[in-house]
Structure 1
Amino acid sequence: MVASKNMPRFPDNFFKVFWNNQFRVKIELPTRSKYPSLAGKVAIITGANSGLGFESARQLLTLGLSHLVVAVRSIEKGNAAASKLKLASPKATIDVWQLDMESYDSIQSFVKKCDTTLSRIDYVILNAGVGPLRFGISSSTGHETAIQVNFLSTVLLAILLLPVLKAKSTRDMPAHMTIVNSVLAHTCKFPNRDQRPLLPSFDDTKITPWDPSERYGVSKLLTQLFLVELTEHVKSDDVIINMVDPGATKGTGLGRDVGGMLLIGYKLFQVIAARPVDRGAATYVDALLGHGKESHGCFLMNTEIAPLATFYHTADGKKATQQIWEETMKELSFAHVKEIIASME
């Protein structure tokens, strides 16, 4: 099986990719006959109170998952979601734990709870993400919200979970961690790629003008570039890490801030082109259950291993990857991420 980083690039005409994804490919819903039994298995899903996170949790429960941890910012909303999820599997254990992806302290506390409370962890879906329409700064970190949540906090959570997942799974059945990404990483322009330092340039609209569609895509690009490098330091025998694009999907929370005339266009697009939420969530389930060590470090689209963003293959991409790695290691040094990664090699 060819890894994403070694595959031919996406076609220059991205419309062909979009058309194929949304109109020609039909994602099959998961069934017990397709995937192995999840009896006795434990899964963690971030942002599982609504949208794709909720639906992927429901699907795993229908496949026999024994224990689910719903990781959410609002315990109240998490409990409401857990009550609905319980209908899919009344015998399953469903815990609701707080996780604020704008707070480094919250992320560290969450991982500590995973380590001290759970005796095993088989599957993790890092689904929590934002697509803000307006520029905003996370008060606890000083970074622009989309970069903070979709990139910095997501990779911190992934890194901190690595030794926990390694310790709470077995070598013959390593834990799977799927991180939600997007094919929009392929289309973003990344105009501030040459800024040094790079990461702070996202926090100043005078340096990098605000464009919400661009910012969402570039937050996913940064994550993609970082994770490809990270997986070079992590053995697939210990933890399998892959990324998944659910495709344009209706019924998610990403468009919650859309209003006015934009809302009309957004809803029209949803009706015409977007996948139902159950089909989008099925890509998450397939990334966890339908792919093994061959998917380590790969980007999955339409339930298949797909190419990385074209930018990865360019000279600028190589330079940016190294810069992103170095600056992120420095940003997250308070959590001893360098030492954690070294322990996984």
Structure 2
Amino acid sequence: MLTFWDFIKGQFARPEPVLTTDLAGKTVVVLGANTGIGFEATKHFAAMNPGRLILACRSQNKGQAAVEKLKAATGYATAELWLIDLADFASVKQFAKKFEQDGGRLDILVENAAVGLSKYEATKDEWETSLQVNCLSTSLVALLLLPIMIKTATDHATVPRIVVVSSGVHYWFTLEKDLCEDPAMLKTLGSTEYCITAKNMESRYLLTKLLNVFFVHGLNARLAPATPLIVDAVSPGYCYSELRRHFSGVRAVVDFVMERLLAFTAERGSRQLVWAALAHQDHPEQLRGAYISASKIEEVADFVLSPQGAKTQDSIWDEMVEILGNVDPRINSIVDKYLSPSL
């Protein structure tokens, strides 16, 4: 478990250097790339001469501004803006279809986009927004692009990576027993009845970061060990972030003070995303299903590793595949072709 004292000590640890490598010819995609740690990560990748660098953003204006800002900061002049709105399944499907039609390779997918809502808001797909954005759509992107990444590995003799940005706050959330035994857990968690309770929404971000860890573990468990694809989860640490811009009242005041006392810059947090995408080039298998923090592999929450956690993870996976299969039937064929039942 991560104690609050462990958290404090981590925020005062010496900064880790930025990991670098030559990305010539490779394609990097960063979701949520127009601001914060996502944008800072693109700056680091741009300095490594990638063949293609795709900034996947929700807003045309903000995304284009990020592309121009990136060019001014790094001199990298060929960054591409692709639009994707994770609060809209149709947008995610369109993004994946565009990538299929583009015909290019995909070596690194950094899934950084997230929201930090504390009040219930429904998407047009009738899901609670943070559950759809942080979890369902994040998983949908990864699964839809999985065949392209495995093909990239085969065609170019490389080992692509999916990096899911989670958080150390996953240590501080445990699912209630009755939820763990609910065969429709995700639907319950996304329902108006569950989310209308203020207490449930106050811990929503913690829940979604736990679900990110479950997804990484679940996907890794279903990939054959010989599959040339690494999926890992990473915590960037507590950083200055727009995620908490929705805070109000006492919560906003406390966060304001904590940021000024403890928070990393977005640039420092982004180094963890880069590390997760590039570390252990000689032995990438070390990062299969790993949870990364402070440029090293850490053990996840006790709940995740417990028998109840393992059972919950499998239940969530099965429900997620059913939900996403209804969103896009390709999910079922991808799961059948590339994944196997969890061992």
State the TM-score, normalizing by the size of structure 1.
0.89
Look up the match of 1:7: none
- 1:117-266 equivalence runs, <5 A: 117-139=102-124, 141-170=125-154, 172-191=157-176, 192-204=179-191, 206-207=193-194, 209-211=197-199, 212-235=201-224, 237-250=227-240, 252-266=241-255
CA displacement, residues 217-253 of structure 1 (integer Å, 9 cap, x when unaligned): 1111122112212112224642211110001001x22
Amino acid at match of 2:236: P
Once residues 137 and 199 of structure 1 are traced to their aligned partners in structure 2, the CA distance between those partners, rounded to angstroms, is 14
Structure with the largest fraction of helix: 2
Q: Per-residue deviation at 1:205? A: 5.3
The one of 281, 287, 305 equivalent to 2:276 is 287
After TM superposition, which residue ranges in structure 1, 4 or more long, deviate above 4 angstroms?
none
Please list the CA deviations of residues 69-101 of structure 1 after superposition, one character each: whole Å capped at 9, or x if unmatched.
111111111000100001233344111111010
One-letter identity of the residue aligned with 2:297: I
State the 1:138 CA deviation. 1.2
What is residue 271 of structure 1 aligned with on the other side? 260
**Paired residue type of 1:137:** A
| Alpha carbons of structure 1 residues 213 and 21: separation in structure 2 relative to 1, 3 Å | farther
3-state SS of 2:222 partner: coil
- Asked if the contact 2:27/2:52 (under 8 Å) is kept, the reply is yes
User: How far is the alpha carbon of 1:118 from its aligned partner?
Assistant: 4.7
Question: What do you get for the CA RMSD once the two structures are aligned?
Answer: 1.9
Alpha-carbon spacing, 1:70–1:28, altered in 2? closer, same or farther (3 Å): same
Deviation per residue, 1:110-142 (Å, 9 max, x gap): 111112225222211000001112111112x21
Query: Match of 1:246, as an amino acid?
Result: P
How many residue pairs get aligned? The number is 328
Counterparts of 2:230 and 2:254, CA distance in 1: 39
Note if contact 1:70-1:78 (Cα within 8 Å) is conserved in structure 2.
Answer: yes
- C-alpha spacing 1:154/1:277, structure 2 compared with 1 (3 Å): same
Provide the TM-score with structure 2 as the length reference. 0.90
Q: Is contact 1:27-1:283 (8 Å) kept?
A: no
Q: Output the CA distance in 2 between the equivalents of 1:302 and 1:71.
A: 25
Amino acid of the structure 2 residue aligned with 1:17: D
Give the Cα separation in 2 of the matches to 1:321 and 1:287: 22
Q: Distance in 1 between matches of 2:159 and 2:80?
A: 23
Identity of aligned residues (%): 28
